[in-house]
Amino acid sequence: MKSLFRPFGELLALVGALVIWSFAFVGLYGVHGTACASGWASPADPWPLRMVLIFLWLGMSVLSGLYVLAMWRRGRSDTEPGHFLRYATVAVAAVGAVATAWLGAPLFLVRVCA
């Protein structure tokens, strides 16, 4: 069964960095929303929450960067489909990494819980 799903796994690897981006997105949105709604954070004392969010964002950004690196370092394929898939995977991973990095911009510009 495992060998059957290996090709499908390669297809899933194509979107790995975008999955990391989506976790970063949902994580930032969820933690911010929960902290504000529960009263744990407030605009009057924004730094604890802001630091949590920045660490979360940095962690996810590093993770997506490492993912790009991992995909880049995967061995070159001898076959045309393998070559195409590797190229596409690295490119999509780079897009995911940039998207994750871009997501953090508001953390430095907008007030929390306001």
100: CB partners within 8 A, 6+ apart: 17, 20, 21, 24, 57, 60, 61, 64
112: CB partners within 8 A, 6+ apart: 32, 35, 36, 41, 43, 46, 49, 50, 53
- In whole angstroms, the minimum distance from the beta carbon of 66 to other proteins comes to 19
Interacting positions 19-38 with other proteins (CB under 8 A): 21-22, 25, 28-29, 32-34, 36-38
Interacting positions 41-80 with other proteins (CB under 8 A): 79-80
Nearest 5°: the CA angle 56, 11, 18 is 25
- In whole angstroms, the minimum distance from the beta carbon of 91 to other proteins comes to 4
Pick 11 or 66: Cβ nearer other proteins: 11
Residues that bind other proteins (CB under 8 A): 1, 4, 7-8, 10-11, 14-15, 18, 21-22, 25, 28-29, 32-34, 36-38, 79-82, 84-85, 87-88, 91-92, 95-96, 99, 102-103, 105-107, 109-114
